[in-house]
Structure 1
Amino acid sequence: MFVRTATASTAAAAVFGAGALLLPGSQTQATAPQAADRQAAPVVVAHRGASGYAPENTLAAVDAAARLGVDWVENDVQRTRDGVLVVLHDTGLKRTTNVEEVFPDRAPWAVKDFTAAELARLDAGSWFGERFAGTRVPTLAQFLHRLERNRQKLLLEIKSPQTYPGIERDILRVLRQAGWLDRSHVRDRLVIQSFGADSVKKVHTLRPDVTTGFLGTPPVADLPAYAAFTDQINPSYTTIGADYVAAVQRLKGPHGKRLQVHTWTVNDAANAAKVNAFGVDGIITNYPDVVRDATG
């Protein structure tokens, strides 16, 4: 059972609030992070959906973000044993599904060891709260359809790419089939990121028009090398300060625009205000309404 924090309880009262968000595409090209070159407020990204209010990486979390008026949704993508792309964070199924009950003899319950049909039998919502009982693990195609219906945008994380050789091509294929690689989606509604630099490079090589992000905090001296293949440096908020953000933003990425910084996972107003003062371009959060209120 999920236990909400005091912050989440307070924020829940505002779950149907709305607010306009600015797009990464509206950034002005620059070689230094002058105040006039940044958005008035950072883009707010719902981490695994609005995962403070609904089970992470489910369609319920996507819809919770939509009710909050949040445009950008982050998710995690992996591949099943039979090659279907599914939206899950952990490489194991134990924490967020009832896999131990349904398949008691299949330890350690790794995502890669199950077929899509088997995953479709799992309850991915009861762990969070009884009212989410029966919530399913979505495929990437289902997730994209829901985002399209809600007119939302996607920050897609390639999870554990070393576990799934060739997953970059698979992801691009599903995105193309769902209509997410046309000009308007690529320009304004899609970013692909990963902790794996080689995976980000591969996406950039296969589709150089797609905006990419590297998850992590590379040393300042290494940033020019990353700028050759990624448009964003997306670090944990605990690892950055104003100087680091400025160092990133002084560089231009592969599309000739200055690098952006989207930091994670900020779940309270105080830290949201802190990273906003650093000049970040985006904040990834389980509680997007809390962050929006603190930075808007």
Structure 2
Amino acid sequence: MWRRSRRVAAAGVAFLITAAVPSAAVAFGAEEPAVAAAVAGPVPGGGRPLLIAHRGASRDAPENTLAAVDAAHRRGLAWVENDVQRTKDGKLVVIHDATLKRTTDAEQLFPGRAPWRVRDFTAAEIARLDAGGWFGRRFAGERVPTLATYLHRLEHNGQRLLLEIKSPKDHPYRGIEKQVIGELRAQRWLDRAHAGRRIVVQSFCVSCVKAVHELAPQLRTGILGAPSGAALARCARFADQINPRLSAAGSRWVAAVHRLRGPHGRPLEIYAWDVGKDTGSRAASLRGIEGIIV
């Protein structure tokens, strides 16, 4: 039952997103193999925005799984976005929700463990869960990947990563910034080739983004939200991107962001999200936004 109901829900969400934001090929009027070349180098303040696959190609495969990474790769999308959380025993896993209920069969496999919070399960327990059956039968058996496994797949595909640290201010997740940096270092994603071009670390937590910058100043970082005025100027000291809802990115705000330079001496960039209720890449391009998460 859980698979059927959530598969139907996913289809509905996919329809809404598809209607509002076409695939890269449709949005740019080009064949999909040409998409990567078309968006590989967005022009700050104008031109076609870079497309970032939200939780991987989550219209084509279950979100935040290796299948979604591969689906984005097949579409020619070089960038993927994901979400990182920590398990009960301190392992980093890639999953969006604070609980396992929506995107896994945790409710069936562990019926007495409500509300099935990620932080209440060990990595070994989470590794047993089906993270794909809810999306479609052919994805049954997909797992919640560890961050290390996820990075390996990106490396294999030659892809790039917009990594969101989830809930870093919650007590069980304190110190997760240092742990994420440690994992990136262990997987060799902090060298010049990766840190400068292939990864951005972002969060809604401003102080946590600052901590990431202090721990690994070579990394590009992003703040989720739309700070303005003095707060925006402060953020520019340690953030390379300001990443708001697309609806919050008015022309004056976008211009204010682009007037500032980030810690690496370049104008701040904007990667917008929640584009489903807007006109997608064309609207973002007109506003001078460098990237959209779709």
TM-score (norm 1): 0.87
Deviation at 1:49, TM superposition (A): 0.3
How many residues were matched structurally? Answer: 275
Partner residue in 2 for 1:150? 157
- SS for the counterpart of 2:162 is strand
| Distance change in 2, residues 1:275/1:39 (3 Å) | closer
Deviation at 1:41, TM superposition (A): 1.5
Q: 20, 29, 32: which is aligned to 1:17?
A: 32
- SS for the counterpart of 2:111 is coil
Deviation at 1:149, TM superposition (A): 0.5
AA at the equivalent of 2:282: A
Matched, 1:141 2:144: no
Partner residue in 2 for 1:195? 204
- SS for the counterpart of 1:161 is coil
Which blocks of at least 5 consecutive residues in structure 2 are unaligned?
1-6
- SS for the counterpart of 1:212 is strand
Partners of 2:64 and 2:82 within 8 A in 1: yes
Deviation at 1:100, TM superposition (A): 0.4
Partner residue in 2 for 1:278? 287
AA at the equivalent of 2:96: H
Partner residue in 1 for 2:56? 49
Rounded to whole Å, the distance in 2 between the matches of 1:12 and 1:98 is 29
Superimposed CA distance per residue, residues 219-264 of structure 1 (whole angstroms, 9 cap, x where no aligned partner): 2342111111101000001212111111100001111111011100
Rounded to whole Å, the distance in 2 between the matches of 1:230 and 1:272 is 23
| Distance change in 2, residues 1:21/1:182 (3 Å) | farther
Rounded to whole Å, the distance in 2 between the matches of 1:158 and 1:13 is 26
Rounded to whole Å, the distance in 2 between the matches of 1:239 and 1:167 is 28
Partners of 1:242 and 1:277 within 8 A in 2: no
| Distance change in 2, residues 1:161/1:206 (3 Å) | same
Partner residue in 1 for 2:76? 69
Q: 214, 239, 245: which is aligned to 1:205?
A: 214
Give runs of aligned pairs for residues 76-115 of structure 1, distance below 5 A: 76-115=83-122
AA at the equivalent of 2:192: R
Rounded to whole Å, the distance in 1 between the matches of 2:16 and 2:81 is 24
Matched, 1:252 2:261: yes
RMSD between superposed Cα atoms in Å: 2.2
| Distance change in 2, residues 1:229/1:136 (3 Å) | same
Rounded to whole Å, the distance in 1 between the matches of 2:90 and 2:40 is 33
Identity of aligned residues (%): 54
Q: 221, 229, 234: which is aligned to 1:220?
A: 229
Matched, 1:166 2:181: no
Partners of 2:274 and 2:293 within 8 A in 1: yes
- SS for the counterpart of 2:149 is helix
Rounded to whole Å, the distance in 2 between the matches of 1:242 and 1:274 is 11
Deviation at 1:267, TM superposition (A): 4.2
Partner residue in 1 for 2:4? none
Deviation at 1:265, TM superposition (A): 2.4
Rounded to whole Å, the distance in 2 between the matches of 1:236 and 1:269 is 10
TM-score (norm 2): 0.88
Superimposed CA distance per residue, residues 82-118 of structure 1 (whole angstroms, 9 cap, x where no aligned partner): 1110000001111111100000001111000100100
| Distance change in 2, residues 1:240/1:196 (3 Å) | same
Rounded to whole Å, the distance in 2 between the matches of 1:13 and 1:114 is 37
Which blocks of at least 5 consecutive residues in structure 1 are unaligned?
28-36, 286-296
| Distance change in 2, residues 1:17/1:173 (3 Å) | same
